[in-house]
Structure 1
């Protein structure tokens, strides 16, 4: 893994998100009320809604368009919905957000 410092945890509001533009598209960095950080794709697979505009609750995010709920840990849709979003390895060290750049550099064919 190739870890990259992408900023301070304080740059993400509690129960909020921030966008990181990468070669694989926009990645949403989410901060929970427990000061945990998760990284996922920013697009809902249902209608492409921006998950970074969604509501963070526990270790989940709710899509702002149609209320689909995704686990920030696994990316799996919860409840009756089916689908999954990409997740990326991320951690917090000394108040800094560190993300695995190896996965973010992989561009897939459209």
Structure 2
């Protein structure tokens, strides 16, 4: 599924996309790579796309819980989040569901 241009997400930030019944957070890391996770924090429903990221993790802006961007595993004792395959094709973000 084409989500739009990679240029719609600034380096080091995330954006939320509605994909069917799912909300997916897509992150454009500072090294240019992209990651996609469930956009909703399982702890209290926080918006993960608004969290702080580095090359390895996202931190929920509400309660500072963290998840690995590659595996979706919690780094702070919470439930894991779903990871989605995402890639860039030319300038288009392609999410594989």
What is the TM-score of this pair, normalised by structure 1?
0.82
Partner of 2:14: 17
Count of residues paired in the alignment? 97
The 8 Å contact of residues 90 and 99 in structure 1, kept in 2 or not, is answered as yes
Matches within 5 A, 1:70-109: 70-78=67-75, 80-100=76-96, 103=97
Partner of 1:108: none
Task: Give the 4+ runs in structure 1 shifted more than 2 A.
Answer: none
What is the TM-score of this pair, normalised by structure 2?
0.91
The 8 Å contact of residues 65 and 78 in structure 2, kept in 1 or not, is answered as no
The unaligned stretches of length 5 or more in structure 1 are: 104-110
Partner of 1:43: 40
CA RMSD in angstroms, aligned pairs only: 1.2
Other structure's SS at 1:98 match: strand
In structure 2, what is the Cα distance between the partners aligned to 1:40 and 1:24?
Answer: 14
In the alignment, structure 1 residue 31 sits paired with structure 2 residue 28: yes
In structure 2, what is the Cα distance between the partners aligned to 1:47 and 1:24?
Answer: 19
In structure 2, what is the Cα distance between the partners aligned to 1:5 and 1:22?
Answer: 10
In structure 2, what is the Cα distance between the partners aligned to 1:66 and 1:20?
Answer: 22
The unaligned stretches of length 5 or more in structure 2 are: none
